[in-house]
Amino acid sequence: MFRIGKSLSYAALGAAGLGLAGAALASGNAGEGPLRCEIVAGTAGGMISLAALAESDAALGGTYRFTVESVAGPGGSTIRQGGGFSVAPGVPAELGRVMLGANGIYDARLELAAGGETARCEERAGGAL
C-alpha cells in the first residue's frame, strides 16, 4: 500500500514531547492506515528544522529513508538519513532531524516500510513560507 496525504496532528506531536523551538512552518504527511509518516518543518535558532516522524496503530519495526535536497539558495546539497526504526502504537517516533540554512528552499521526502506496509511523505520548506 502506498500513500501520500495529510494526517498526524500537532497535538499528537506535543503529546510526544516533540515541540520545535520557534513557530511551525509546515507539515507534510501520509496518514491513513496502520503506518503513517510526517515531516514537520519549523524554525530554531534562525535555521529551518525538518523532523521525520513515524506513527502506527500497532507496534512495528521497519526501515526508513529521509532525504532532503537543496533546490534553491546558496550552494546545493543532498542529505540522506536512513536505517531501522521501531514505533509503539499511537506514539509518534522521531526518526531523524536536520537543521538547514534559513536562506534556502528544501525538498524533503520520507519513505517508511514496516510490516508489509509502506508510507511516503513529502514537504517543501524555506523560501516564502
The CATH classification of domain 10-126, taken from the options 3.40.50.150, 2.60.40.2420, 3.20.20.105, 3.50.50.60: 2.60.40.2420
pTM of the model: 0.75
Kindly indicate the confidence band of residue 128, based on its pLDDT and cuts at 50, 70 and 90.
low
Cell numbers of 85, please?
A: 526504526
- Burial status of residue 91 (CB atoms within 10 A of its CB: 0-12, 13-18, 19 or more): middle
Task: Taking residues 59-81, report their average pLDDT.
Answer: 92
The H or E element containing residue 14 is helix 10-15
pLDDT digits (tens, 9 = 90+) for 77-106: 999 999 999 999 999 999 999 999 988 999
CA distance 43 to 64: 24
In one-letter notation, the amino acid at residue 79 is I
Write the CB contacts of 67 (distance below 8 Å, at least 6 apart in sequence): 78, 79, 80, 81, 108, 109, 110
